[in-house]
Every structure is written in C-alpha cells, then in structure tokens.
Amino acid sequence: MPEAPNPPIRAFWRRIASLAGDDPAARFTALAWLVMLALLVRQVLVYGTQVPFNDDWIMLAKLRPDEQFPAAWYWWVHNEHRIPLAKVAYVASVGGTHDIRAGTFVTVALLAASAWLTVRMARRLRGRAHFTDAFFPLLWMNGAQSENVLNSFQLAFSIPAAIAVIGLVLLATGDERPGPGRVAMLALVAWAMPLTGGIGLPHSVAWMGWFALVYFSARRSVAAVDRWTGRIAVAALLGTLVITIGYFVDYTFLPGFRRPPPGLLVETALQFLTRGVGETAVSLRATAPWVFAVLAVWALWLLARARTESDTSYARAVGISVVIVAMGGTALAVGYGRAMDGDGAGLLERYGMVAAPMWCALFAAACLAWSRRSGKLLAFVLFAISAASFLPNFRSGEREGTARRAKAEAFEADLVRGLSIDELAEKYWRDFYYSPDGFVLVLRDAEAARIGPFDRADR
C-alpha cells in the first residue's frame, strides 16, 4: 500500500492498518471504510451549504440570541415526534458553532463509527476477518445518504440508528449469560431509544421482552452475580416501560392524520426496510420487497438453527432476533405514520440510514452461522447487493447534492441582491420549506439568529 504524502494522513492510515492487522481481508475492509468515509466527507464539503433545508429552518427559532431554552422544549413534540436527544445534539453542534453544517459532520462521524463497530462485530462472530465485511462501509456510507449528511436536522435519524447499532453489537457479541455490566449498558440503550422519536419507540417493546428473558433466566441460577444481573434487568425493564408510557402523555397525531389500510401499511413498511441499501430499492421497487423478505426469512432460519449449537450461540441468536423484531416494529411504525403520504412513501432517501441496522442484523445472522454453507452464502449475497448498489448510490448522491447546491446558490444570490424576506419566501418556499407563510416566519428567525446566509454584518 503506497504511503500518503501528507504526514497526518499517513499516520491516520497507519493507525487504521494497525487495527486491521496483517490479514489481507481486514486490510481490504479497512480500505473500503476509508474510501467510503472520504466520499462521504467529500459530499458534505462539496455540496453542504449555509442555507438550511426543510426542518433545519424550524430549528433556527431556538438559535436566536434572545431565545430561551426551557427544559420542556426538549420534550415538546416536533411534528409528531418527541426527539429530546436530537434537540440536545442540534443545539450543541449548530448552536455551539453557529454553523448550519455542524450537525452534518456529527452524522458523518456516527455513520463512520457505526460501520466500524459492525465490522468488528462481524469479525467477532465469525472468528476472523473476511472481505465481505466491506458490506458495512458500503451500507452505512454510500452516496444515497446524501440527504442525511446535508441536513443537520438528520441527527434525528443518525442518533437512533447509531444507538440501535450499539445495542446490536452488545447483543451479538455477548457471552453465554450477559453480566451486570452488559445489561446495564443495554439498559442505557433501551432508555435512549424512546427519546429518539417514533423511529426508536418500537424498540422499547423488543427491549422489554429481552430484559424479561434475562430476568427469568437469572432467577433459575444460584450464582450471586446472576441474581444481580436479574435485578438490573428488572430495573431496566421498568425504566424502559416508564419512559415509553411517558412518551404518550399528552401525545396527539398531527391534524388530518389518516390510518392506512393494512395492505398499504405493510407495503410502505417493506419499502422502508429495502431503502437500507440505497437507490436500488427505488429502481427495483417491484422486486426489492420480495428479495428482502427472502433474505429476512433466510436470516431467521439461520438464527433458529444457531440456537441449538451452544449456549453462547443461543444467547447471540436471541439478541440478533431482538434487533430484527425491533426494526420490524420501526418499519411498521413508519408504514402506519407515512403510508398515506403518497406513492413510494417508504422510499424516501432519509430512511436509508434508519433502516441500515436491519441489514446489519441480517449480516450478523450470516456470521453467526458461518460454519454452515448457507451462512457464508447469505453474507456473499448481502455483500453483492451492497457492491452492486455502489454506483447507483453514488450517482443519486451527486444528483441530490448538485440540485441542493444550485438552489442554495440562487437563494444566496437573491439575498445579496437585496430581495426582501417576503420576496424570498414567495420565490423559494417550494425549494426549501412547506408553505410560503411558514417560510416567512423561519426566514425572520434566521435573520434574527444571524446564522447561515444571514450571518453578515450588513444585514
């Protein structure tokens, strides 16, 4: 591998290479991770702008210099979601730096970390590295993440995705019996998920089921450490239950919400799950749900067989299954909430990041069953899908980035020319917001906050 001419880059590569070791497969995966990270960072640097899009405008109201931050605001519903963790991260990143792009770099870091953690998970499950582990960088950092890495507000999606990955890794790499420390860490994961909105809320039920299993298993043991594990599991279950119930206190759906028919709900849920691999879910939308269904059944069959091999395999298979069930719940929640929004409502680009943990769980099932030919084959199929999606995803990201950059530059040019707030709102609301009247309000907030394109001394 030729050395990079820049010393910091060379040192960074040496660090990655040292983590990868001498195994060619590990080095191949590390190189794939670096390349995909470089492309993702390039996406932000080339196409990221100081002009907000969509929900970023809404958040600007809290960045005005005269604005207060009552604790209740973090719990208030945003659209129909309670997202206190995302709000904290947004205020800390964008508000702390006064740069509308700050949250996008946090999202890039979370995507890169999720890819690296899942690579390590696969290696632990299999017992060694394999070139198919490049599936994870291709999954997490592909070009179809463009919307997610060009909007700081997408912290509302990258945070639950990263937390779901932490839970998957902790469950999939555990031993025969989870100890008190691991259960305590998983309690934090379970408590955090309802605080990420409707995306994370369905995970609560799955986690409560897992804590109940741990508790009843610990009750049959005479070991003191297992007893402590059971007590922590009960506390974790009760804490998750309290937070989940609290989520629905004074909660209402948006006006005009319509419940979808069951068939459309399921169709939208499957669209959401297929979006995890990116643009191919759109171009092959007729067949993608069937392909995903086959892969999911295949993975569950492997998990069912792995349960009989050893107590450790049993614990890991149950843990991976919990994540699959949780992600299925998230898919149904998206279907319930978005199916009536129009054709292809589950195929929005932003969903790729949130659906990715499901695909990680499928790959984890393949690694757990690596001793079986069917397990290896599933890993190869998943890797092939992610590799075949690379170019369509890259092109999708370039289209999205180019379009966004052009809109932002036109807006900034008219702002410099002296167009009024009302004139800007009338001309550009379709490009940036949901209504002309609402756009007037958020433009005034941006001007008062002196952020983004309004961060000029002459304004």
At residue 186's C-alpha, the angle toward residues 180 and 188, to 5°, is 110
pTM passes above 0.95: no
Query: What pLDDT shows up at residue 244?
Result: 95
99 φ, ψ (degrees, to nearest 5)? -125, 120
Task: Single out the residue of 224, 228, 217, 235 nearest to residue 180, CA to CA.
Answer: 228
Q: Is the dihedral of CA 200, 204, 209, 215 positive or negative?
A: positive
CB 162 within 8 A of CB 113: yes
Query: What pLDDT shows up at residue 456?
Result: 59
At residue 168's C-alpha, the angle toward residues 249 and 394, to 5°, is 100
| Number of residues written out for the chain | 459
Task: Single out the residue of 56, 35, 242 nearest to residue 149, CA to CA.
Answer: 56
Q: What is the pLDDT of residues 274-290, one digit of tens each?
A: 999 999 999 999 999 99
Query: What pLDDT shows up at residue 365?
Result: 97
Rounded Cα distance, 47 and 29, in Å:
27
Instruction: Spell out the domain ranges in the chain.
Output: 7-397, 399-454
> Within 248-287, where are the H helices?
262-274, 280-283
Rounded Cα distance, 337 and 203, in Å:
16
Q: List the structure tokens of 58.
A: 């809404």
Q: Which residues of the chain have pLDDT under 70?
A: 1-22, 69, 456-459
Query: What pLDDT shows up at residue 21?
Result: 62
CB 112 within 8 A of CB 37: yes
Query: What pLDDT shows up at residue 1?
Result: 44
Query: What pLDDT shows up at residue 18?
Result: 57
Q: What is the pLDDT of residues 326-363, one digit of tens each?
A: 999 999 999 999 998 888 999 999 999 999 999 999 99
